[in-house]
A and B are shown apart, each in its own frame.
Chain A
Amino acid sequence: MSLGMLIFLLMVVVTTVAAVAVVTSKKLVNAAMWLMVALFGAAVAFVLLQATYIAVIQILVYIGAIAVLIVYTIMLTRDPDEAQEPGINKQWPIAAVLSLVLFVGLAYFYYTLPQTDVLAPALEGELNAVSLLGQQLVSPNAYVLPFELASVLLLAALIGSIVVAWRK
């Protein structure tokens, strides 16, 4: 067993345990912390796929911004003295069925994909993935429209938050 395989298995176990713990832990803050562990596991998966840029962005966006925001929101809105709450409400059967359907669907697609054990051929020549990504994002032939739409969406969110917080 190679080292990469060992790290992959470790990552799978840690991510799965953390993902289960997110939904089973009683305290909301603990659930948020487990969520961070699970997201970090996903970043490790990106590193193992040699997608360094996506791995770093995963950590920067999910752990650096979103997770801190979630923890902050929980701390500001809950009373820390009565943090114990039931982890399950009445909708759990529907949620369980939906997750099961999604899981079975993903597994089905994975097994029907051709040649999952064959490595893709290496790309030709030296290529700088990061600058290629940047060019694709602003190229009119590629993804400039979705990129600009995302910017507009973020701007709308920014203005919306200012309007909500405006002191009348």
Chain B
Amino acid sequence: MADLINVIRDWLYNLMISWGASQDLAGFVLQVLGSILVVILCFVIVIALIWVERKLAGRIQDRFGPNRAGPFGIFQSFADIIKIFTKEYVTPTGADKSLFNIAPVLAMASVLAIWAVFPFAINVIGADVNVGVLYIVAIGSFGILAILMAGWSSNNRYALLGASRSVAMLISYEIPMVISLLIPVLLTKSMQLSAIIEAQRPWWFLIVAPTAALFFLISSMAEIGKAPFDLLEAESELVAGYHTEYSGMKFGMFYVAEFLHQYTVGALITIFFLGGWSGPMAASWPILGVVYFFTKTFLVYLVISWIRLSLPRIRIDEMLDLNWKFMIPVSFLNLVVVAVADRILMDLNLARWIYVGVMFALSMGVLLISLAIAGNSKPKVERVQFPTRPVAVSPQSDQSKS
């Protein structure tokens, strides 16, 4: 009972061996089954999350949210799924058909593939590769590619504009994200996800390196493109961004990928800063570890939703300024401070709680000092005033001007 998942796995393995399968084949079939199970789990989670998100959004904005289909509207997502399956697929004229159809699949795959390396419990790990952190960063780049493909192949200027805006934002926010990810790697001295969780057993990295956790949260929110960073699908400027031309389930795949990405970011924060599966009794009862992992992930998901439902959309120049003029320099400074402090404190051989306390103080010091400096410096505002032009111009006055 304590180790339910591995008991089932061993039983299936022995069953296949007794049927006469070779060890290679049995192992391969189990890997395929495991991947399918994780993918199905992700989709089930998304169906539940869409309902939670809409209900939460309703409550925060003083509305009811879905409340017609079933008790508390819990069947609303199923109604939406059935509706989206019956919709027509429209391919715009002049679109690059193959790229147009591959893009949503790639967007979905880039999020799902991250789940391959997640440790759900002490002995429930898909692939415990020794470069887990790099793998997560590398797979994320397929998402950028999918957006670029969708925007270009749609043969629509709004989609292309939205895509280039998205890619500009995703590439720039990847820098502070990767630098914040370096700090758990630095403190663990390994890129293996199971080792990172093992290193957080007594003290979570949220306490050891709070600044890195905050920066990772902010840059991940930019990576998923949700408010306040949702200017890549600003309706009033870009119609709907890179997926303007998509309909039916092709749009649905982008939508589901977006939701799943938000949940995946929750899982990443859980693994890197909240100790992953660790918790009371989790080492001896692996099934409890799975429960802890998903509970923590869900809590982070709720925090992200809460932030995005409370803040308005920021402008594109503010978005770029925040990244290039504040987050990147400060995260580099934080990295240097953490690296030096970690080395010196390790050599001093202090008690663990003193080490954690000093690291926490230094990290918070870096954050507060840079916030104070950024708050006091008045940037030279350089506003380019474009001559205003009325929305509708009569043909005569337009000709006279030119």
**Least CB distance, B138 to chain A, in whole angstroms:** 4
Number of contact residues on B: which range applies?
A: 20 to 34
CA distance A59 to B142 in the complex (A): 9
Q: Which of A57, A59, A63, A75 contacts B164 (CB 8 A)?
A: A75
Would B96 and A56 count as touching, CB distance under 8 A? no
Alpha-carbon distance A75/B191, docked complex (angstroms): 36
Does B130 contact A71, Cβ atoms closer than 8 Å? no
Q: Are A63 and B155 in contact (CB under 8 A)?
A: no
Q: Which single residue of chain A is at the shortest CB-CB distance from B141?
A: A64
Contact status B131-A72, CB under 8 Å: no
B138 partner, pick from A2, A56, A72, A130, beta carbons under 8 A: A56
Q: Looking at the complex, which of A29-37, A93-101, A155-163 is the stretch in contact with chain B?
A: A29-37
Q: Which residues of A contact B167 (CB under 8 A)?
A: 68, 72
For window 67-84 of A, CB contacts with B under 8 Å fall at: 67-68, 71-72, 75, 80
* A131–B130 CA distance with the chains assembled, in angstroms: 10
- Assess whether B99 is in contact with A52, with CB atoms less than 8 Å apart: no
B148 & A71 in contact (Cβ 8 Å cutoff): yes
Per the bound structure, the CA–CA distance linking A36 and B167 in Å amounts to: 17
Partner of B130, one of A63, A65, A67, A129: A129
Min C-beta distance of A57 to chain B, whole Å: 7
| Cβ–Cβ < 8 Å partners of A65 in chain B | 141
Residues of B within 8 A of A33 (CB): 99, 149
Q: How large, as a class, is the contact surface on chain A?
A: 20 to 34
B216 CB–A CB distance under 8 Å:
no
Chain B nearest Cβ from A161, distance in angstroms:
15
Instruction: Name B residues whose Cβ lies closer than 8 Å to a Cβ of A.
Output: 24-25, 28, 96, 99, 129-131, 134-135, 137-142, 144-145, 148-149, 152, 155, 160, 164, 167, 171, 189-191
Verify B129–A52 contact, CB threshold 8 A.
yes
CA gap between A56 and B142 in the complex, in Å: 12
Does A128 lie at the interface of the complex (its beta carbon under 8 Å from any beta carbon of B)?
yes
Q: Are A60 and B24 in contact (CB under 8 A)?
A: no
**B145, A67: Cβ atoms closer than 8 Å:** yes
Interface centre among A29, A53, A63, A64 (most CB of B within 10 A): A64
Complex Cα distance, B148 from A29, in Å, reads 11
Q: A33-B149, A71-B152 are in contact. Are A60 and B134 (CB under 8 A)?
A: yes
Residue in A27, A30, A52 whose beta carbon sits within 8 Å of that of B131 in the complex = A52
